[in-house]
Amino acid sequence: MSQRVQAVPTVQVDNDEVIVTEWRFAPGSETGKHLHGYDYVVVPMTDGLLLLETPEGEKHAPLVAGQAYFRKAGVEHNVINASDHEIVFIETEIK
């Protein structure tokens, strides 16, 4: 069981088409292991570095403010803020 602080999700939109969530990560905080049930787009609001704990091992993913990325449903990971500052991103899940 992880001893990390949990990242803070704030759902901004949840309708028949999408779920839009703002994620705020204090340094060292995490989402917890989860599986994405929908395709999704992430738009970083801050620069930073994420540590991804995946079934294939650990990976680092740099974030650049305003540089969106897309992932297909089925991604499984724990997302951890590996930066020394807060990271914020907007996640849009496509239903």
How do strand 18-25 and strand 8-14 relate by DSSP bridges?
A: antiparallel
CATH code for residues 8-94: 2.60.120.10
DSSP alpha helices (H): ranges in the chain?
Answer: none
Average model confidence (pLDDT) across the chain: 97
Cα-based torsion angle of the residue sequence 77, 63, 59, 83 in order, rounded to the nearest 10 degrees: -100
The pLDDT of 21-37, averaged and rounded, is 97
State the pTM of this model.
Answer: 0.94
CA-CA distances (angstroms) from residue 49 to 39, 42, 55? 22, 14, 19
**Per-residue pLDDT tens digits for 47-77:** 999 999 999 999 999 999 999 999 999 999 9
Closest CA to 80 of 60, 64, 57: 60
pLDDT at 3: 81
Cβ proximity of 46 and 84 under 8 Å: no
pLDDT at 32: 95
